[in-house]
């Protein structure tokens, strides 16, 4: 059971994810340089937070052309699990593996703080570790985390039970329907703006993120 963490130039949460999965949760993890196309032997892949390729043009817009990406699409098609955190979520929407788009926060400033979230879907095993409707706390740290999509897409997301996490107790970035994280219709891809890897180590704060990362090695 091995987890792969993609390293783009400009990724900056790659080591944090590995510290959480390997250091805190004891799950075998290796880094995947953005130029590699060999995704053999992996159970799941994490696209970590950061500023891939400097987030030039638009967040995630250049990362979608990385050599690794075509292999990632094959990996997804064969049912492999992919978790996109923050910039990773932005990349997944850019490449079309998840619907919608992440735009500049409504109040424009970058925001770093803990937020309250509600677990709103138990369809996939990504959030099986939580009770449906459970309130959890995770940190956010982004300037462009406002989830936006068409009304059609929104209805589709609702129909598919794909809205996985919603902000409660205030909407930090102006996301539609307070959306903080979504899954694809097949359920093997999960993208979210909050950072579960920053909530796995009791020494630095809460541990509500553990159960999301633990789901990297479960089956769907």
Catalytic residues: 86, 195, 197
Report d(CA 188, CA 49) in Å as an integer: 19
Cβ distance to another protein smaller for residue 58 or 132: 58
Give the pairing type, strands 179-183 and 163-168: antiparallel
- Judged by CB under 8 A, the residue of 197, 208, 209, 213 near another protein is 197
CB 48 → another protein: shortest distance, Å?
Answer: 10
- Judged by CB under 8 A, the residue of 4, 55, 92, 149 near another protein is 55
- Judged by CB under 8 A, the residue of 96, 151, 203, 219 near another protein is 203
Q: For residue 57, state whether it binds another protein (rule: CB under 8 A).
A: no
Cβ distance to another protein smaller for residue 151 or 203: 203
Give one DSSP letter per residue of the chain, joined into a string. --EEEEE-TTB-SHHHHHIIIIIIT---EEEEETT----TT-SEEEE--B-GGGG-SSTTTTGGGSTHHHHHHHHHHTT-EEEEETHHHHHHHHHTSS-SEEE--TT-S-EEEEEEEEE---SSGGGTTS-TT-EEEEEEEESS-EEE--HHHHHHHHHTT-EEEEEESS-SS--GGGEEEEE-TTS-EEEESS-GGGSS-GGGS--TTHHHHHGGGS--
Q: For residue 146, state whether it binds another protein (rule: CB under 8 A).
A: no
Q: For residue 54, state whether it binds another protein (rule: CB under 8 A).
A: yes
CB 189 → another protein: shortest distance, Å?
Answer: 24
Cβ distance to another protein smaller for residue 49 or 100: 49
Cβ distance to another protein smaller for residue 37 or 122: 37
CB 85 → another protein: shortest distance, Å?
Answer: 12
Q: Which residues bind another protein (CB under 8 A)?
A: 9-10, 12-13, 15-16, 18-20, 22-24, 29, 49-51, 53-56, 107, 109-114, 139, 141, 143, 170, 172, 195, 197-198, 201, 203-205
């Amino acid at each position: 059971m091995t987890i792969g963490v993609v390293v783009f130039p400009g990724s900056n949460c790659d080591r944090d994810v590995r510290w959480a999965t390997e250091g805190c949760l004891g799950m075998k993890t290796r880094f995947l340089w953005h130029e590699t196309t060999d995704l053999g032997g992996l159970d799941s892949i994490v696209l970590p937070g950061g500023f891939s390729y400097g987030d030039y043009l638009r967040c995630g817009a250049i990362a979608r052309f990385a050599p690794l990406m075509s292999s990632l699409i094959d990996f997804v098609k064969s049912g492999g699990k992919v978790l996109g955190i923050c910039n990773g979520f932005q990349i997944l929407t850019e490449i079309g593996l998840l619907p919608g788009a992440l735009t500049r926060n409504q109040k424009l400033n970058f925001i770093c703080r803990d937020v309250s979230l509600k677990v709103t879907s138990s369809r996939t095993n990504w959030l099986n570790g939580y009770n449906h409707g459970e309130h959890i706390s995770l940190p956010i740290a982004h300037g462009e985390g406002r989830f936006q999509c068409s009304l059609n897409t929104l209805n589709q997301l609702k129909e598919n039970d794909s809205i996985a996490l919603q902000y409660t107790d205030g909407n930090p970035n102006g996301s539609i329907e307070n959306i903080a994280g979504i899954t694809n219709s097949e359920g093997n891809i999960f993208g979210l703006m909050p950072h579960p890897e920053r909530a796995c180590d009791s020494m630095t704060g809460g541990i509500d993120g553990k159960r999301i990362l633990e789901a990297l090695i479960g089956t769907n």
